[in-house]
Structures are given as structure tokens and as C-alpha cells.
Amino acid sequence: MNVYDLLINDKEKVLLDEVLLDCENQDQIKQLIREHKHINELSKYGLPVNNKILLHGSSGCGKTMTAKAIASSLGKNILILNLSNIVCSRIGETSKNLKQIFDKAGREKSVLFLDEFDQVGKARGNDEKDVGEMRRLVNTIIQLMDYFPENALLICATNHKEMIDTALIRRFQIRIKYSLPNKELLDSYYNKLLAVFPENIQTIKRDYSLSFAEAKDYTYTLIKSMLLDELEQQEKAMQYEQ
């Protein structure tokens, strides 16, 4: 199988303004984008740009959207790889596959987004052979990260930062934590989701204990129910008139 077939074909373009982040996270992302837009000017002074970013924390809070927005802001192609799809029973094969993906991203000056990064960074059981193989895989990833070209970006995401080897964690110049959104951010998100629907069905009961992904599913489920109720009422009215 061609290893490139494991890349997720996702052409969705996301603007940075569409990603709801708290002020601190937003500032870090904007600084990163500014650096890469002026990479040549910074290099004249021998200043390196940050190009290895770890996004960690609660699921469904915008990590993938952030990676897409960074790529869109910089006009770069994004290569999306879910690491659960690439881990093989033979660690050597996994290392080979990862090297090919890293090489492709470097050649194309792309954004490489590795989801579920803990799949390749966590220890697996107490078997000495297994631990040794995982250590070799971690060493391979460290080398790939150390030699990753500055004009490409590596963005990794995990819901379990505590499971990742500390040697890998240290390679990330930027580490951004995602938590469940507060009421203000969720209200902004609800307003955005509801704006395209008729006003009479925009007044849903809002749940503030959800992630963005959960809030979207929750909202769309309620909206569909209300729209179908209206449609069925109209159908009954038409049948009654006949």
C-alpha cells in the first residue's frame, strides 16, 4: 500500500476568524503566522521561526480547525495524518512510513498535521522487547523533528499529553492547551450556527457544558427536529384543506 494513501483528503479551508480561541491561544497562533509570513526577514538576523506546535487538551475544542486555519493563513497545503492509521505491528515499518510523510511535507513546505500523536509517543506495556521497539520509534521521530525544515510546519494534536514521551514534548517550541469553551465563547458559536436558520427556530435552549463539536451536534439535532415538526404540520394542514 502507498503510504500517501493514509493521508486524509480534506480540502476544507478555514479562516482564522472562524476558529474560536481564548485570547492567550489566539495571540500565540497569530504570532506564529506573523513569523512565517516574514521568515526571510527574520532569517537575515539569524532568528529561527517556531515550526513545531503541540495542540493538546479536550476533544472537540478546535485543534484540527486551528491547524487548517494556520495552513490557510499561510497559503500552505495541509497534510493530515491520523497516526492510529499508520502504526504497524512492526515498529520499523511505522518509522519508514513516518519518514516518507515527513519528507513529503518538507519538500512541499507544507503544514503536516499529526492527529492522535500519543499513538506513537506512549509506552506500550512492560514487555522489554516492546519497550525497546517503542524507544526506537521515539528516537526516529525525534530525528525527524530535529531535521524538519523551518519553512514547513509540524502541528501535532493529542487529548493525552501526559502519555507522550518527555523527549518529544521538549521538541515543541509552542504548546497550546485546549479546554472546554466558556459561556462567552459558546454563545458566539451558537450565534454563528443559528444565524442561517429562520428566527422562529433560533431560540433553542443552550447547553454550556459542551465542546464546540458537541455543541454543533446538539444544535443541529434540535434544529432538525423543529424544522421537521414545522414541515409535518404544514403537510397535515394541506391534507386537511383537501
Residue that has been written with the C-alpha cell 497559503 in this structure: 75
CA 168 to CA 123: how far, in whole Å? 13
CA 114 to CA 49: how far, in whole Å? 20
Q: For the chain, first and last CA: distance in Å?
A: 61
Query: Which residue stretches of 12-62 are H helix?
Result: 23-37, 39-43
pLDDT for position 3? 74
Burial zone of 3 (CB within 10 Å; 0-12 exposed, 13-18 middle, 19+ buried)? middle
> Residue 129 above 60 pLDDT?
no
Out of 115-119, 135-139, 238-242, the most confident range is 115-119
Strand, coil or helix: 87:
coil
Instruction: Label residues 94-113 b or e (16+ Cβ within 10 Å = b).
Output: bbebbeebbebbbeeebbbb
The values of phi and psi at residue 19, to 5°, are -95, 120
Structure confidence at residue 125 as a pLDDT band (50, 70, 90): very low
Domain 3-178, CATH class in plain words: alpha beta
pLDDT tens profile 41-63 = 999 999 999 999 999 998 888 99
Cβ-contact 142, 167 below 8 angstroms: yes
Query: 0.75 cut: is pTM over it?
Result: yes
CA 174 to CA 55: how far, in whole Å? 8
CA 73 to CA 179: how far, in whole Å? 23
pLDDT for position 4? 76
Cβ-contact 186, 61 below 8 angstroms: no
> Residue 70 above 80 pLDDT?
yes
CA 158 to CA 165: how far, in whole Å? 12
Higher pLDDT, 3 or 228: 228
Structure confidence at residue 127 as a pLDDT band (50, 70, 90): very low
Give the domain ranges of the chain: 3-178, 183-241
* Closest alpha carbon to 114 in 147, 152, 72, 162: 152
